[in-house]
Amino acid sequence: MLASIPSATVVGVDGHLVHVEVHVAPGLPAYDLVGLPDASGRESRERVRAAFASSGLEWPLRRITVNLAPAALRKTGSGLDAAIACGVLLASGQLPEHSLRDTGVVGELGLDGSLRRVPGVLAIVACLARHGVRRVVVPAEAAREAALAGSVEVLPAATLTEAVTCLRGEWPWPTAPEADPTQPFVSADGVDLADVRGLAVARTALAASAAGGHHLLLVGPPGAGKTMLARRLPTILAPLDHAHALEVTRVHSAAGLASGDHLVTTPPFRAPHHGASAPALIGGGVSRIRPGEITLASRGVLFLDELGEFAPSVLDALRQPLEDGSVLVCRSGSSVELPAHFVLVACANPCPCGRAPDRCRCSEAHRAKYRNRLSAPLLDRFDLRLYVDQPSPSDPPGPGSAEVRARVAEAVARQRARYTNFPFERNAQLPAPLLGELAPLGSDAAAELHDIALVRRLSGRGTARIHKVARTLADLDGAAAIEAAHIAAASELRSDVL
């Protein structure tokens, strides 16, 4: 008898459909698993057999062949255990023939017959739903996550016995839990923007970055408050909308970062150490391609502290994903496209000793060498570049995170409304040819921008970047039109910092 159960494996951060084919034929008792499983997949045989014994099911003493189709795709992880078990049951007649029609199965088996969750349940269930599967048997503990996928009936089962009983129709399926659409907003480590004194211009830049999705570079001596400021960025980011929240939850679940029980509505904030390698940042791996930090930061913020300490090759690898919002990671075995819609926020010292311009003791050659670590094309990607100087203790504290977050959220909503018919949603992604149409300038503002370009000797691209940032500042102000003051303020947020 032959059975074929749809399931899926995680490739990168997406599910990839796998048909688990089980053939049970007369002959000497044997068990063959083919179709490029990894080590944990090959070990499924022992887990499945023990789970059968623990669940009081009969292991057919015949020749069993399991094929994971498509046979050429490398399968990773143990999420196909449950599908193999159900296939064996179906092929050996222990389950009614039609009990698994249009039904996918996901989960790892314990030796006691329990059904366990695997990373990436959301990605797997979403993939099955996409391929026309109507019902999915999932481990009970991952039912909430599976429910997030929507448009598919979730059949939760805590054990193999429970699944078999319900599939046989001897017992009704337990009701699947409702998807929990929200996650309470958690302020990162209880920090607040009100902790920062002075630095008014830098704080404007931070709000502009959060609202318009502009990449931000802060340069200044140690202790000026660059990192302190950047670390408070998560507290003013606008919550994700449903589609993005789903995407982030899927990615984080596939990477094993989040349980997936809740929809992740807080934009991710990833801060890798400067020792990070290119594959760690971009994504990679040998047999299995794992998402890198830029993918984990997708729809959120990638924060690189001490930018000058990162390997220059690692930084330059960021340039293409910054431009495209995705990265194609290629290995000899496979290639995977990973999402990378992140906002890059970086901090750097002005020179190796970090004390420029005041008490710097670096030689000019040292400073030039340090500057050269950051390539001009990378520096050009930062819409917002500013010098942060030590504030004096008498400087007044600024507005708190809650107040700024509300303004940012309004600005984001305004941009979404404006760009409904376009394939982008933030001012930072506004293509230069559409600037005139989507961010028109009055005659005053246009004259101001022209004047700035003249005095500061800006290139066309530099001018366009100030234009976009001015649009964000206007959105933060709730202004429909960009005024000359917005242009002037935007020009102060992009200086030659190195």
Partner 1 sequence: MKPLPVDEIAAAALAGLPGVGRATLRDLWKNHGSPECALGAVLAGAAGPALRRWADLDDWPERCRPDVVAARLARHRVRVLLPDQADWPIPPDLADAPALLFTRGSAYEALQRPAVAIVGTRAASPHGLADAHELASHATRAGYVVVSGLALGIDAAAHRGALDAGGLTVGVVATGPDVTYPRRHDLLYAAVHRQGLTLGEEGFGAGPLEWRFPVRNRLIAALAAVVVVVEAHERGGALDTATHAVGLGRPLLVVPGSRRNPAASGTNALLRDGATPLLDPTDLLVALERACHTPQRYAISAPIPVSATGSPHAEAASAPQSGPQRSAAARTILAACHGEAATIDELVTRSGLGTAEVSGALRELERVGAVERRHGRIWPR
Phi, psi of 494 (to 5 degrees): -135, 90
Site residues (CB under 8 A) for partner 1, limited to 441-480: 448, 451-452, 455-456
| Stretch of 73-81, 125-133, 398-406, 485-493 contacting partner 1, by CB under 8 A | 485-493
Q: In the complex with partner 1, which residue's Cβ is closer, 104 or 225?
A: 225
Q: In the complex with partner 1, which residue's Cβ is closer, 393 or 433?
A: 393
Instruction: State in angstroms the smallest separation of the CB of 196 from partner 1.
Output: 12
Q: Does the protein bind partner 1 through residue 359 (CB under 8 A)?
A: yes
Q: Does the protein bind partner 1 through residue 481 (CB under 8 A)?
A: no
Q: In the complex with partner 1, which residue's Cβ is closer, 253 or 491?
A: 491
Q: In the complex with partner 1, which residue's Cβ is closer, 416 or 450?
A: 450
- Exactly one of 284, 387, 475, 482 binds partner 1 (CB under 8 A); that residue is 387
| Stretch of 146-154, 234-242, 305-313, 382-390 contacting partner 1, by CB under 8 A | 382-390
User: Which amino acid is present at 353?
Assistant: C
Phi, psi of 297 (to 5 degrees): -90, 0
Count the residues of the shown chain that bind partner 1, applying the rule CB under 8 A: 39
CB atoms within 10 A of CB 480: 8
Instruction: State in angstroms the smallest separation of the CB of 155 from partner 1.
Output: 59
Instruction: State in angstroms the smallest separation of the CB of 260 from partner 1.
Output: 44
| Cα pseudo-dihedral 15, 16, 21, 22, rounded to 10 | -40
The mark string for 193-212 relative to partner 1 (x by CB under 8 A, - otherwise) is: -----xxxxx-x--------
Q: How far apart are CA 172 and CA 389, in angstroms?
A: 66
Q: Does the protein bind partner 1 through residue 217 (CB under 8 A)?
A: no
- Exactly one of 91, 207, 386, 441 binds partner 1 (CB under 8 A); that residue is 386
Do 301 and 342 meet the contact criterion of CB atoms below 8 Å apart? yes
Lookup: tokens for 287 = 């047999």
- Exactly one of 77, 139, 220, 225 binds partner 1 (CB under 8 A); that residue is 220
Bridge-partner residues for 330, per DSSP?
A: 335
Q: Does the protein bind partner 1 through residue 364 (CB under 8 A)?
A: yes
Q: Does the protein bind partner 1 through residue 73 (CB under 8 A)?
A: no
The binding site for partner 1 (CB under 8 A) comprises: 198-202, 204, 219-220, 350, 356-361, 363-365, 386-389, 391, 395, 448, 451-452, 455-456, 484-486, 488-489, 491-492, 495-497
